[in-house]
Chain A
Amino acid sequence: MDARLIVKPNLCIGCRTCELACAFAHSENGKPGRSRIYPLDGGFKEMWTPVVCLQCEEAACVKSCLVNALRRNPDTGAIELHQDICVKCGACEAACPFGCTLHDTQHDKYVKCDLCKGDPVCAHFCPTKALVYEPIKVAKARKAG
């Protein structure tokens, strides 16, 4: 759990490639899933924000789940929604303060970012490196130097 998905709104051009990559990475039976990442207007000139799950330390979604279907994966640090346990009550979607748990109406299930099991596809496809998945040490060193 030493890597993070880093989001830099300064670099985002709002091309929505990450959204496409996410939807196709989570497709089922040939149908793309609902994207877990949403590039939205950041409110300033040339400013877009890819809104994606922050993997909160004390997450509201985990707290709100009455059947404990949301659990943190110790390897990636991502909170994963276990579909076989989920009872589709919609509590996590309503509780997330950042709006990052979504209802996939196409497949009728609740979804959230799981960091693609430790290799986020969105970061691979981002053309401007607004999304980077890197070890925390590297990120800190880059910021300091």
Chain B
Amino acid sequence: MTINGKICKAEEGEMLLAVIRRQGIDIPALCDHGAVEPFGACRLCMVEITKESWDGWKKHVTSCLYPVEEGLIVQTHTDKVIELRKTVLDLQLARCPGSPEIQQLAAEYGITQTSFEETIDSDNCILCGLCTRICEEMGFAAISTIGRGHLKEVGPPLKEPPPDCVGCLACAQNCPTHVIPYEDEGIYRTIWDKKFERIQCSKCGKLGITKDFAEALIKMRGLGEDYFDICDECRRKETALTMGRISQWEREVVE
């Protein structure tokens, strides 16, 4: 297949976006993440495709959802594609006027002010659903999208503190616009209005993951109960001392 006039190889079943990225071509994609299946929510990875046998016909597709085909001719930055991306960014800027990530991306495409009406009191969420998909992939599925149409939003069931949430922060860490609020205060962590207690290293007091997350890992993956007692730094010190003892013994035996 050809991308921007360059011939490149791809494996069967791969999506276009992966091949384009591998070529070092930069196209924006906000809802894409390697841990989850492609979703096609943000519509920014649009490309133009055609084939020699298509008699001059062209299609515009989201590259994250389009599987590679032999003989495909892809263009990532034609005028039409850029116009499409601009429209999408214009709409996203209208929905999320306060998001620095969207502002920056829009500015790269020459949009500093949306031509649509700005949402008042916007939550700056682009509703790509990456957080909910990651949560589901991890096996918790504590949050989901609620409602339809313009009332759609991300949140826990019934907007109450989610019983399945373990406070791992995967949703907040991977949000493309970083809008999921959480608070770390002392040994407590609050996310989705649920309060968690974090594990404190029994030696140095360093804070780690939440107790709920550790319990979930022990249950789901059969890890030992004492795996989460001390922090990584104290563990390294212990490892050094253990290996030191073995070497000292070896030293004495050899001598």
Contacts and interface: CB of A to CB of B under 8 A. Distances in A.
Interface of A: 7-10, 38, 40-44, 47-49, 51, 60, 63-64, 66-67, 69, 82, 84-91, 93-102
Given A86-B35, A94-B209, A60 B223 contact: yes
Interface stretch (B58-66, B93-101, B232-240): B232-240
A123 to B, nearest CB: 17
Interface stretch (B67-75, B76-84, B165-173): B165-173
B251 A85 contact: no
Given A9-B243, A66-B217, A97-B235, 11 more contacts: A10-B247, A47-B247, A51-B239, A66-B138, A66-B220, A69-B34, A86-B35, A89-B138, A90-B168, A91-B168, A94-B208
Contact of A87 (B170, B199, B227, B239): B170
5 contacts: A47-B247, A86-B35, A94-B208, A95-B223, A98-B235
Contacts of B247: 8-10, 42, 44, 47, 49
A43 B174 contact: no
B240 to A, nearest CB: 4
Nearest to A93: B232
Nearest to A54: B239
A47 B223 contact: no
Given A10-B251, A43-B241, A64 B223 contact: yes
Interface residues of B, number: 43
A64 B34 contact: no
B248 A47 contact: yes
Contact of A44 (B232, B236, B248): B248
A42 B241 contact: yes
A42 B174 contact: no
Interface of B: 33-35, 134, 137-139, 168-170, 173-174, 199, 208-209, 213-214, 217, 220-223, 227-228, 231-241, 243-248, 250-251
Nearest to A66: B138
A36 to B, nearest CB: 11
Main secondary structure of the interface of B (DSSP, over half): helix
Contact of B35 (A44, A85, A97, A98): A85
Contacts of A86: 35
Contacts of A48: 240
A132 B212 CA distance: 41
Closest 6 CB pairs of A and B: A42-B244, A99-B235, A84-B34, A40-B240, A99-B236, A49-B240
B208 A100 contact: no
A88 to B, nearest CB: 4
A7 B240 CA distance: 11
A136 to B, nearest CB: 19
Nearest to A101: B232
Contacts of A100: 232, 236, 239
